[in-house]
Amino acid sequence: MHRSIRLVAVILAAAVLSACAAPQATRVPDDETARPAPLPDPDPRPALAREPAPDAAPSGGTGAVAELMAEADRQLVSGDADGAAASLERALRINARDARLWQRLAVVRLEQGHPVQAEAMAARSNGLIRGDRAMMARNWRIIAEARRMAGNEAGARDADARANALSGERG
């Protein structure tokens, strides 16, 4: 149970740390037909934080939401799950229709050991998504982990099967 929570935290930490790494120098071949090396990504936030919110209602505070999401990432990586939850809750007060925020808060709730809340928030995220199968699959994996934490193995297998079906995996 704690192993899965740690796995989620490690994955999030790796995403944050990889986004902070200095860009590697890329050698461009002398060949005139070679394409130039891609520029480093100027957005230091983890990939999950940069995903567009599917069908999210426009918000005048999108910059504030992005800052709060980045702050939540830093807090979670430093072990402050409560602070991360508070930052995400503030972001949700700005834009409650952002599926990414609900998904991230679900991950934090798993880290805090609140599987019922995590499942509800991942389900809420799925309710806001339109057509993003990968994000829906991630939500179903969160739901599966929440159900495992709550001792519902049959429900966890069902959620894993839904995630696999969305991502094209065989389970």
| Gap between the Cα atoms of 86 and 45, Å rounded | 19
CATH topology for the 2-18+59-167 domain: 1.25.40
pLDDT value, residue 5? 52
| Gap between the Cα atoms of 110 and 116, Å rounded | 9
Torsion from C-alpha of 137, 128, 95, 4, nearest 10 degrees: -20
Asked if 112 and 8 count as a contact pair (C-beta separation under 8 A), the reply is: no
The residues, any chain, with a CB within 8 Å of residue 43's CB and separated by 6 or more, are 19, 50
pLDDT value, residue 141? 98
Q: Tell me the range of 28-32, 34-38, 53-57, 144-148 where mean pLDDT is highest.
A: 144-148
Better-scored residue on pLDDT, 148 or 6: 148
Please report, for the chain, the start and end positions of each structural domain, with discontinuous segments joined by +.
2-18+59-167
